[in-house]
Amino acid sequence: MSDDQKLKDPQNPSGPVTVRNMTFHVDRDLCIGAATCVAIAPNTYIMDSEAKAIILDTADNDTDDALLDAARGCPTAAIIVQDKDGHQIFPQ
């Protein structure tokens, strides 16, 4: 992580964090560091020193589609997405 990058929630690097109408959370036990999420939503995810995905405060710069595609693209379904009412959107 470079000096100009900040976490969305420094207390909860892997979330949950809210971006617009959705909440995102990386299950660190499931994350295997494949970095697919980083490729799909580069403003949102980077890898930490333990090779787990953490969430940047620039997540708002990725589209809802990119954020959902990143969750769908995760090989272990480690990214959990909820709507604003707390209902789980992904994984279904």
Residue ranges in contact with ligand SF4 by CB under 6 A: 26, 31-37, 45, 53, 74-76, 78-79
Residue closer to ligand SF4 by CB (options 18, 72) is 72
Residue 47 CB, nearest approach to ligand SF4 (Å) = 6
Residue 70 CB, nearest approach to ligand SF4 (Å) = 7
Residue closer to ligand SF4 by CB (options 33, 85) is 33
| Positive or negative: CA dihedral 16, 17, 20, 24 | negative
Residue closer to ligand SF4 by CB (options 29, 85) is 29
Task: Give how far the C-alpha of residue 40 lies from the chain's centroid of Cα atoms, to the nearest Å.
Answer: 11
Residue 87 CB, nearest approach to ligand SF4 (Å) = 21
Cα distance between residue 90 and residue 92, in whole Å: 5
> b/e for 63-92, b at 16 or more Cβ within 10 A?
eeebbbbbbeebeeebbbbbeeeeeeebee
Residue closer to ligand SF4 by CB (options 42, 60) is 42
